[in-house]
Structure 1
Amino acid sequence: ALALGAHAALHPDDAAHHLRTTTQDRGVHGADVVLEIAGTDAAVALSVELAAPGATVVLTGIPDADTTTFPASTARRKGLTLKLSRRMKEMYPRAVRLAAGGTVDLTSLVTETAPLTDAVGAFTRAQARHGLKVVIAPHL
């Protein structure tokens, strides 16, 4: 996110503190745009909390279930705009070309590389959302 021009990319545990300490001296009360990518109810609720009045919250994460909840009273009081994003299958060939050609660097997304002998464990950790992306590398 930072490489693409975001002012901040924050871990959920640090987000509220970071936003308060970096914006309070400017009289700003939240972020103009919040991009949520985790897909958990806690991340969606935090996104609503971190958004400034009149801000836009973009929900990109895919929840485990088919529902997402957030504090509606906070979103309503702030007058937030909620947008949902979806991945479209016709974009995959283009995305693969961009990644293969080096236009988009995906290495920062990989938080674990596991050998094929640990594939079951790697899938278990990925399903439990430990880390961001797990790569299974048969050559390890």
Structure 2
Amino acid sequence: MRATFIHGIRDVRLGEVEPPRPREGMVTIQVAGCGICGSDLHYYLEGGIGAAQVRDPFVPGHEFAGWVVDDHPALGLSRGQLVAVDPAHACGRCEWCHRGHVNLCPHVEFLGAPPLHGGMAERLAVRPEQLVPVPRDFSVRKAVMLEPLGVAIHAMDLARPHLQETVAVLGCGPIALCLVQLARLAGVERVFAIDPVAYRAEAARRLGAHDAAPTFAAIAEWTGGRGVDLVIEATNSPEGFHHAAEAARIGGRILLAGIPEGDRYSLPAALCRRKGLKIKFSRRMGHVYPRAIRLVAEGAVDVESIVTHRFDLSEAENGFRLQADCQDGALKSIIVPGEGDTPF
């Protein structure tokens, strides 16, 4: 069975993996599409994220959707049904799961994080509780984008924007573009977007940002030197935390959703201390798929236009390269193992 493998830094290859042999109770899906996430780019560019290191070739991809291969009437699933996949399976037994923080479970099994293979393959066996049926009129693109939208929803739940606040979103990748739209839905006064790549900043404007600029210094100009009430940092820069602290007002709030290159932040401690900033970190998501589906189904959040490129498994390296190097207007690339929107 064909699959895309990451072998090491900037080393993506087409290969073969054993077809899934699902254990009892698991469901086999034919993968319809799998997005290239910022996390995948860290594996591609750095060979790992923290303790999750690429030690052997592995199949990446945790933003994916697929068609159910066989009928499962007891589960309410039928052959050919399109489902999104929650890549995380928390243990359900630890203190953190019992507290409702399933996204922080230290025993989580996460598809597409080494050593577990992910969705950039033709087929995959998945636990039924990880499958999320989507409306019949959903395209594969919409179903794939439910995972990054879910991450954005969880981040926004933690950020808790208030009515008529000013908000800055640092970074204009796919999750950040969802955050811009969610901030508008929350009723904030103005949403500012920052990204050094012009086409990404322009995408933020198109999706609802009131202003966009290449550097955080513009925020001081827009706010008369005050800074914004809330900064949501969604970059891959080690300077992202520092820039967020500079952009926030005295007594403001920061939500860190990005993963910095090199797994390190760089900032002057006095800046955060003297401003008395309130800081939160966001990781993955909880049980937010029902809300994500409603937002997309009702047209409240546009995820489909964020998908700009599509590649076959054999062309996956091009998708990784375009997104990593911000070329050809790439926002979200989807790897499509088969015939796109046609099951089987």
After TM superposition, the score normalised by the length of structure 1 is 0.73
- How far, CA to CA, are the matches of 2:192 and 2:333 in structure 1? 20
- Choose from 107, 115, 127 the match for 2:311: 115
User: What secondary structure, in the 3-state scheme, does the structure 1 residue paired with 2:235 have?
Assistant: coil
- Choose from 222, 229, 238 the match for 1:22: 222
- Choose from 190, 194, 202 the match for 1:11: 194
CA contact (8 A) 1:12 1:43 kept: no
- Choose from 90, 94, 98 the match for 2:294: 98
Over the aligned positions, Cα root-mean-square deviation in angstroms equals 2.8
CA contact (8 A) 1:38 1:61 kept: yes
- How far, CA to CA, are the matches of 1:65 and 1:89 in structure 2? 26
- Choose from 235, 240, 259 the match for 1:43: 240
Bigger Rg, which one: 2
Please tell me the residue identity of whatever aligns with 2:311: P
1:32 shift after superposition: 0.9
- For residues 113 and 95 of structure 1, do their structure 2 counterparts lie closer, same or farther at Cα, with a shift above 3 Å needed? farther
- Written as runs of structure 1 = structure 2, the 5 A alignment for 1:36-75 is 36-75=233-272
Unmatched 5+ stretches in structure 2:
1-179, 197-212
Q: Does 1:83 align with 2:280?
A: yes
- How far, CA to CA, are the matches of 1:95 and 1:63 in structure 2? 28
Identity %: 28
Higher strand share: 2
Structure with greater contact order relative to length (CA < 8 Å, sep ≥ 6):
2
Unmatched 5+ stretches in structure 1:
none
- For residues 70 and 122 of structure 1, do their structure 2 counterparts lie closer, same or farther at Cα, with a shift above 3 Å needed? same
Over 4 Å off, 4+ runs: none
CA contact (8 A) 1:58 1:83 kept: yes
Q: How many residues align?
A: 133
After TM superposition, the score normalised by the length of structure 2 is 0.34
